[in-house]
Amino acid sequence: MTNAVLNRPEAAHLRVAPAALDVRPLTGHIGAEIHGLDLTRALSPDTVAAIQAALWQWKVVFLRDQPLTHAQHVALASQFGQPTLGHPVYGYVEGHPQVYSVARNRFTDRHAGEQLIRPWTGWHTDVTAAVNPPAASILRGVVIPPYGGDTQWTNLEKAYEGLSPTLRAFVDTLRGIHQFVPPEGQQATDEFLRRNRARPLISEHPLVRLHPVTGRRSLYVSPLFLQSIIGLSPRESRALLDLLFEHIVRPEYTVRFRWEEQLCSKSSHFEIAPACG
């Protein structure tokens, strides 16, 4: 599987009237399949706008049977915004600096020890430890197992709305520290330390973000990266983060996607509406 990340879409894309698309929702709140497009060819501006509109509504959209090369993958991403480096700390596919491989063994030289597994373990929005995280990611299945390997996403706008009014008002005021650290229970390897010393990433973001186009609020809490809440004691911070992390992965907010051979899915986790797990 490979992943290309994007900066915020150009405003020009927002001014084009959306074209009609065959969009088929998968759940009540998140996820839709789009049919009838060939992503190996350049898309018209109105089609790009229509995909963008579907993305804002459904948070993650999937397009099956799209056998793209790395170069075509990058060309597709470039129609939605300026692609970023594949990964600011862990690099990219040789010859394609905008593409990052998410092979199953990519963590073997980064962490050691037995991981503490919780309901929200592994859920994340890409690279929130950066000051300017990517607006979206495009994932492409390359080597697909015969079973297993599904991916889940969650709708953090709906999760925000699902909080009590009192708690919403409180988290609206909070900011958190995002940083690359080993998963709970594991220790950093020398390779992990070397890479993170070479490109240290630590950032402060609000716990609630406002979408610049739709104006909708969403939780910006990334379990893999969000380490603490500013202004709270360590115990208060941990208790509130655990509550929020458990809340955002409730089944009614999520969609589970089964990959197939020759598959491309475009998944969105806008920095103000993160939705990648």
pLDDT value for 269: 34
Please give the span between the terminal C-alpha atoms of the chain, in angstroms, as a whole number: 14
- 111-112 vs 187-188, strand pairing mode: antiparallel
Q: How far apart are CA 120 and CA 136, in angstroms?
A: 21
Closest CA to 160 of 29, 32, 60, 51: 29
pLDDT value for 1: 52
pLDDT value for 185: 86
pLDDT value for 262: 56
Mean pLDDT for back-to-back runs of 10 residues, the chain (277 residues): 49 46 96 95 95 96 93 95 88 90 78 88 94 92 89 97 98 97 85 86 96 95 97 98 98 95 43 35
pTM for the structure as a whole: 0.85
179, amino acid identity:
Q
Cα 212 to Cα 56, 99, 111, 182, distances in angstroms? 11, 26, 37, 32
